[in-house]
Amino acid sequence: MLRPDGRLSLDLDPIDHGPKDACGVFGVFAPSEDVAQLTYYGLFALQHRGQESAGIAVSTGERITVFKDMGLVSQVFDEATLTSLRGRLGIGHTRYSTTGASVWHNAQPTFRATRNGGLALAHNGNLTNTHELESWLRELDPDQRVPEKKTMDSTNDTSLVTALMSSFGTEPIEQVAMKVLPRLRGAFCLTFINETTLFAARDPQGVRPLVLGRLATGWVVASETAALDIVGASFIREVEPGEFIAIDEAGLRSQRFAEARPKGCLFEYVYLARPDTTIAGRSVHATRVEIGRILAREHPVEADLVIPTPDSGTPSAVGYAEASGIPFGLGLVKNAYVGRTFIQPSQTIRQLGIRLKLNPLKEVIAGKRLVVVDDSIVRGNTQRALVRMLREAGAKQVHVRISSPPVEWPCFYGIDFATRAELIAPGLGVDEICRSLGADSLGYISLDALTEATHRPAAELCRACFDGRYPIAVPKGQAELLHLEEK
């Protein structure tokens, strides 16, 4: 149960929220720049990927300093803190928990002292073989007692990786990484540093995005190209699936720890990534507009106005209006300051629900037949409340169009999707879901059409949340992903 702590939380109602990504990671090697400031701005660009905690680790070349706390990037860091974080290289992290509780000890970057110096590490994704890795950690150092948490400073899989990295005596970290990385299973994009070198690695399937950029005086790695843009770095390329990169005074070195078997997350295109990001050479905004055009062809309807659910539904609503010839309009106003609210809202606030986030423009929608475009339906509570609110504001008809297929399966690779029992789609047909929402009609884009909009072959995408075909072996039970927390 969430308890009031005086800080701010993700959602008005933590029981009913949209899809949340695990994290955003950032790394920079730029000895002549203020790396803490660059990392701060990079994390700002990645705030949408994690809003529970934020952290930065920097190294002067001789000493690593880590600062992290619960809250948004702007809440965790101020000018005095950033000024104190002097260094030549650094990494940053924004977190939303999928493994491990939302508490300070699980904020990242994690840090451990090794026989070769310090190691700070940040992780985006979710590992699926934590039991196996714990057993290996015990073999490496029998004196360590993993179940009693003597080897880790937190309860998440990131700390387990850090503990493994520090268990090889005086071996150079690059050699250690080439032993540890091939043993990891699941989705992982890592940025980590020792005193002198920035490292980055991406899992062999490349489930989560990770890109490489160039500064005039250094290098940047980040979860999305939008973070490169905000710090003035030019995009060089994506970090390849199965690639391990090291950057220091000698330049950039790259080696493979596994063969690339691309399975990029399809949901990045639907919702997770910023619209101004590029994935696999394809603009996310352009993809979402194309999804809207396809939706209009697959699910046409006679209506007077197309409106988005701000902000995630806007590009697809533009595409739907363009292809259908129905005018596009803004029928809902979003309160930009209520994305985070009191951690334990009162019952009165809960009853207000979606109205604190979205308010209808009655003069725009009254008497109109509306097409409402949204990115996804997970549990259905938000869409149900939205349809009711639009009807109360005078909408004549409400036709819901969704720019992803029905979400029927949980994600084991870093998105906080509900269990199957909590999802609305399993066991219900589209007509039944439509009646549950109270809409006049409901249309989802087809899986094949969504795939087509990305301009990537289906064989290179993870579509498991839609079709249940997991490209990486998953634990027998979802609880296994939480076993670190339970010990």
pLDDT tens per residue across all 487 residues of the chain: 333 333 333 343 444 445 545 589 999 999 999 999 999 999 999 999 988 899 999 999 999 999 999 989 999 999 999 999 999 999 999 987 544 444 456 789 999 998 889 999 999 999 999 999 999 999 987 665 444 444 444 446 888 999 999 999 899 999 999 999 999 999 999 999 999 999 999 999 999 999 999 999 999 999 999 999 999 999 999 999 999 999 999 999 999 999 999 999 999 999 999 999 999 999 999 999 999 999 999 999 999 999 999 988 999 999 999 999 999 999 999 887 654 433 344 555 555 667 778 899 999 999 999 999 999 999 899 899 999 999 999 999 999 999 999 999 999 998 877 688 889 999 899 999 999 999 999 999 999 999 999 999 999 999 999 999 999 998 765 544 433 433 3
Sorted by sequence, the CB contacts under 8 Å of residue 392 that are 6+ apart come out as none
What does residue 224 show for φ and ψ, rounded to 5 degrees? -140, 155
Same domain, 52 and 125: yes
Q: pLDDT value at position 22?
A: 59
Judge if 289 and 266 occupy the same domain. Answer: no
Half-sphere exposure of 413 (CA within 13 A, CB side): 31
Q: Give how far Cα 264 sits from Cα of 79, 101, 329, 363, 403, Å.
A: 37, 26, 33, 43, 18
Question: Rounded to whole angstroms, what are the CA distances from 246 to 28, 60, 65, 239, 255?
Answer: 11, 17, 20, 12, 9
Which of 207, 241, 270 is the C-terminal boundary of a domain?
270
Q: Is residue 17 part of a domain?
A: no
Residue 44 lies in domain: 24-270
Quick one: pLDDT at residue 421?
Answer: 84
In a domain, 91, yes or no: yes
Give the burial class of 156: count Cβ atoms within 10 A of its Cβ; 0-12 exposed, 13-18 middle, 19 or more buried. buried
Is the domain of 298 the same as that of 374? yes
312 is in an annotated binding site: yes
Number of CB atoms found within 10 A of residue 336's CB: 9
Is 189 annotated in a binding site? The answer is no
What is the pLDDT at residue 51?
A: 86
Number of domains in the chain: 2
Q: How many Cα atoms sit within 13 Å of 91 on the Cβ side?
A: 30
Token code pair at residue 78: 């101020």
Residue 440 assigned to a binding site: no
Reading the block at residue 58, the tokens are 């920097």
Residues annotated as catalytic are 23
Residues 248 and 333 both lie in one domain: no
Shared-domain flag, residues 266 and 295: no
Concatenating the DSSP letter of every residue in 57-92 gives: EEE-SS-EEEEEEES-HHHH--HHHHHH---SEEEE
pLDDT of residue 88: 97
Q: What are phi and psi of 203, to 5 degrees?
A: -60, 160
Residue 3 inside a domain? The answer is no
Say if residue 265 carries a ligand binding annotation.
Answer: yes
* DSSP three-state, residue 271: helix
- Contacts with 10 (C-beta within 8 Å, 6 or more apart), sequence order: 17, 20, 51, 52, 96, 340
Q: Check: CB of residue 423 under 8 Å from CB of residue 417.
A: yes
Average pLDDT, the chain: 87
34's CB contacts (< 8 A; 6+ apart) are: 82
Is 462 within any annotated ligand binding site?
Answer: yes
H helix runs in 142-185, sequence order: 157-165, 173-180
Annotated binding-site residue? 34 = no
DSSP 415: B
Q: How far apart are CA 307 and CA 321, in angstroms?
A: 9
In this structure, are 205 and 111 located in the same domain? yes
Domain of 457, CATH number, reads 3.40.50.2020
Q: Is 434 annotated as a binding residue?
A: no
Q: What are the tens digits of pLDDT across the range 299-339?
A: 999 999 999 999 889 999 999 999 999 999 999 998 876 54
Same domain, 382 and 455: yes
Residue 418 pLDDT: 64
335 with 357: CB under 8 angstroms?
Answer: yes
Tokens standing for 355?
């109205």
Residue 278 lies in a domain: no
- Confidence (pLDDT) at 7: 35
What values do phi and psi take at 331, rounded to 5? -100, -5
**Which of 270, 304, 328 is the last residue before a domain boundary?**
270
Q: What are the phi and psi torsion angles at 474 (to 5°)?
A: -115, 160
What was the pLDDT predicted at 141? Answer: 74
Looking at the structure, tell me whether residues 247 and 291 fall in a common domain. no
